[in-house]
Amino acid sequence: MLVSSIARFNAARNMNNAAFGIMQSYNQMNNALSNNTFGGENNLTMLHEMDKKLSLDLASNSLLYKISSLQEKLAKKHQNENIKHSFSVMA
């Protein structure tokens, strides 16, 4: 039961970190668009590279969030099964 609790806390921490990373990526995208003026090939190239990097960060954080969410659900299910098994053994 302790292992399931630790797994759930780790999954929740990873979900929190991923959600924060998603928020940071969106903020950086928004700042990049609002702070850079359009014009010139170099500027557009820089914006394209920035967009590509931030899109990859966003996708990886989103995937990490989904995986952590599934890990938390599985750990919760395992914990509940252990609790039911413990009560059935005690009875």
In the three-class reduction of DSSP (H, G, I as helix; E, B as strand; rest coil), residue 37 is classed as: coil
Residue 18's nearest CA partner among 31, 88, 26, 7 is 26
- Pairwise CA distance, residues 55 & 44, whole Å: 16
pTM (2 d.p.): 0.77
Amino acid 31: pLDDT: 84
Amino acid 88: pLDDT: 78
Per-residue pLDDT of the chain (91 residues; tens, 9 = 90+): 677 788 889 999 999 999 999 999 999 888 877 776 555 555 778 778 888 999 999 999 999 999 999 999 998 998 888 888 877 776 5
First vs last Cα of the chain: how many Å apart?
18
Amino acid 60: pLDDT: 95
Q: What tokens were used for 51?
A: 């967009």
> How distant, in Å, are the alpha carbons of 54, 64, 85 from that of 15?
19, 7, 29
